[in-house]
Structure 1
Amino acid sequence: MNNKPKYHLFKNTKYALSGLKHVLKTESSFRLELFCAIFIIAGIIIIDASLTNKLILLVSGILVLIIELVNSAIENVVDLVTKEYAPLAKTAKDIGSTAVMFSIILHVVCWVLVLI
């Protein structure tokens, strides 16, 4: 059984924007990271670094947002599957959080290396 609708650029964009609207409304971590991204982008523009280094900082910063979105999706699916405490559900959520943490560490390391 395949419940996937046919690909349609405008419908898929609508789905993506719906997901963004939901995450902005429900996920405080994503809102905080998005708020920080404003200052990070300003910092990238201001610093005296090569275009390559600026792109590395930009990509690693956007990666944090992407991983946070994936983590939110994991948490939503886990919550859909089980409402009560389950060790595997906790593990899935913890692993998603670890991915976010690693992406933030990577971004910080990129900043340190570019600024040195």
Structure 2
Amino acid sequence: MTSPFKGQRGLQRIFNAAGYSRDGLLAALRGEAAFRQLVLLNLLLVPLAFVLEVSRAERALLVAACLLALIVELLNSAIEAVVDRISLERHPLSKNAKDMGSAAQLVALTLIALVWGIILLG
């Protein structure tokens, strides 16, 4: 079965997708403290990556690690929203889904620390 929302094609689909993406970013900024904190971290680290004396490849890794953490937080927030939409009742599968999303974010944050540490200290 296909979604009734999948009917657009061409430029209209691109415009719709851009609007959905904007809405998702705004929802994350408004409703997710962890996302706002990561945005602030990115506002510090991404410009710093461009003033450090590192190679272009190292700079790309520094920035990519930061952006990946934002991506993971958006996905983690989406998982939490879907689980909460299904039911606010405590359930082991719901807990697992939320905990795994949180673990993914921990790995992404660890990646930032490792990449920045290896490049700056290595």
TM bucket normalised to smaller? over 0.9
- Residue 49 of structure 1 aligns to a residue in which SS? coil
Kindly state the Cα deviation for residue 55 of structure 1 after the two structures are TM-superposed. 0.3
| Paired AA for residue 83 in structure 1 | L
Q: Structure 2 length as normaliser, TM-score?
A: 0.91
State how many pairs are aligned.
Answer: 116
Distance 2:111 2:26 in 1: 27
- Residue 93 of structure 1 aligns to a residue in which SS? helix
Deviation track 1:61-105 (CA, whole Å, cap 9, x = no partner) reads 100000000000000000011111111101100000000000110
| Paired AA for residue 80 in structure 1 | R
For residue 71 of structure 1, the aligned residue among 76, 84, 103 is 76
Correspondence 1:87 to 2:92: yes
Correspondence 1:2 to 2:7: no
Q: State the superposition RMSD in angstroms.
A: 1.0
Alignment of 1:32-111 (within 5 A): 32-111=37-116
Long gaps (5+) in structure 1: none
Kindly state the Cα deviation for residue 43 of structure 1 after the two structures are TM-superposed. 1.4
Identity, % of aligned positions: 32
